[in-house]
Structure 1
Amino acid sequence: CRIGPGRVYPRQGALLVGETAEVFGRNPTNEYWYIRNPDKPNEFCWVWGEYATLTGPFALLPIFTPPPTPTPTFTATPAPSFGLKATGMDSCGSTWWAEVEVKNTSSFVFKSMEYTVLDTVTDIEKTLLTNGFTNKDGCSATTIKDTIASNDSFIISSALFDATLQNHKLRVDVTLCTELNQKGICVSQRVNFTP
């Protein structure tokens, strides 16, 4: 027994085998019958004619307009996401690189990336495709992470440039992916900055 004539309506009772109920109306196609709810006598519900045997002149029953079909509840599908913030540039000897901080703001784990830096002054563009993530700290240390987990932050270093990036406007595009080799679900962010 449902609140409307069809399977899209929620159930609100049951008419068991051998149980009888008084019919008060029908839908326009004579497939569903409007009855007093056997489980809640002060309420009414619709029962499918396939499972009910009618006695009496059903054609004399009034045709009831069914309630509107229920609106489906939308459940958002989680998607990977991250924040991107410029942190500057670094160098070692005669090489320079841009640095940005990524913060995983989703429940997904990132495993690979594409990191592109365009120096808009020299029009030189460098792209780095990697599994894992690297932060170079000048000439002294390098930190490598295989993944960036949910709520983790990490500073990542770009491909190397042969000239300084100081006072050059940079356009940085970072794409993080949930699988190795830039596969799985990939999402991108852009930041412009001048180190």
Structure 2
Amino acid sequence: MESSNPRPNFAANPAYFARAGAFFFLIFTLAFPACSQQEEFPSATPTAVPKAALVVAAPSPTPSPSPVSPTPRETNASAQQTGGSEPLSSPTPQGLQLKTTGNVYCRSGPAVYYKAIAAFPPGTTLPVLGRTATESNYWLVQTDMGLPCWIWGKYADLTGGDPKDLPVMTPPPPPPAAFIISVDRVGSCNGTWGLTLLIQNKGLLPLESIEATVMDQAKTFEYHYPLNQSHRFVWWYNCELKGQNESIPPGGQGMITIPTDSQNLQGWPLVVRVRACTENELRGECFERTTLLFP
């Protein structure tokens, strides 16, 4: 555990301000404020297409010679089936279409921490299969290969029907390690600045270790969360240690502060990469997010 000293001397530890050259390449087609729901966008359609896990509302498994009625049905246990990479039947209700207005990923579930299984450029039109039970603004569509996947509606328009008539689909469970990140604040201590990130655990297991990097888009600077603190989540501002967590439970949240030396990052568009794992020393199930944030 850290010392209870309310005024830690962060500047005395050079590990807080380690810098390194950036060797990974990232293209952002669109960007938006960190306080909103995050989504990253592709520069090209992925070549590999893994299986898409999905639990969807569907007609009764009893064979019937008559066609399936397009009338929406209530979701219930007897009307659910597990969908994977197998092609699906015609969408319900018929005629409802989604048209992308930007470069978008199509994911195995309705959130950014689900795996992307396809990507589409602006102007792509896809049939809509269903929606979530909540107002998540994600829509289940069907690709031209018959695969079901979820698209964020912020960069898409629906036409040809009322979305409320869509059947409610039950998404697959989240991955063991999954989270979303946002900027909590930018603070300083005697001329030493720090960027504090909020980490919300959306996975099935506790997050036990973390590493993080922040840089500007031009890669003129790069800062890291101290490696000697990767086994805990520590945050500070106004020259005070505000808190630390040994782990973040499922559904919980924690924060980390990345020291940025004398650099005030307020108002900068920042490329932030965070990797968190379900075991100490960045082991176990791990999940990584790279996104553009605006402090």
Shift of 1:122: 6.8
Equivalent-residue separation in structure 1 for 2:222 and 2:232 (angstroms) = 21
Which residue is 2:197 aligned to? 100
Amino acid paired to 2:269 = K
Which residue is 2:187 aligned to? 90
Shift of 1:86: 2.1
Q: Which of the numbers 119, 122, 125 marks the counterpart of 2:222?
A: 125
Amino acid paired to 2:211 = E
The 4+ residue runs of structure 1 with deviation greater than 3 A are 72-78
Shift of 1:154: 1.5
Superposed CA RMSD in Å reads 2.6
C-alpha contact (below 8 Å) 2:278/2:284 kept by paired residues = yes
Q: Which of the numbers 258, 277, 284 marks the counterpart of 1:177?
A: 277
Equivalent-residue separation in structure 1 for 2:175 and 2:267 (angstroms) = 39
Equivalent-residue separation in structure 1 for 2:182 and 2:174 (angstroms) = 26
Q: Which runs of 5+ in 2 are unaligned?
A: 1-81, 85-171
Structure with max Cα Rg:
1
Pairwise mapping of residues 2-81 of structure 1 onto structure 2 (< 5 A)?
78-81=175-178
Change (3 A) 1:95 1:103: same
Which residue is 1:34 aligned to? none
Equivalent-residue separation in structure 1 for 2:290 and 2:219 (angstroms) = 19
Shift of 1:186: 1.0
Shift of 1:91: 1.2
Shift of 1:73: 8.5
| TM-score, structure 2 normalization | 0.38
Shift of 1:117: 0.6
Equivalent-residue separation in structure 1 for 2:211 and 2:273 (angstroms) = 8
Amino acid paired to 2:180 = G
C-alpha contact (below 8 Å) 1:84/1:190 kept by paired residues = no
1:135 and 2:207 aligned: no
1:167 and 2:264 aligned: no
Q: Which of the numbers 143, 149, 155 marks the counterpart of 2:255?
A: 155
Which of the pair is proportionally richer in strand?
1
Paired residue secondary structure (2:239):
coil
Which residue is 2:110 aligned to? none
C-alpha contact (below 8 Å) 1:173/1:188 kept by paired residues = yes
Shift of 1:80: 1.6
Equivalent-residue separation in structure 2 for 1:154 and 1:132 (angstroms) = 10
Shift of 1:121: 5.9
Paired residue secondary structure (1:131):
coil
Q: Which of the numbers 130, 135, 146 marks the counterpart of 2:246?
A: 146
Q: Which runs of 5+ in 1 are unaligned?
A: 1-71
Paired residue secondary structure (1:181):
helix
Aligned residue-pair number: 125
| TM-score, structure 1 normalization | 0.56
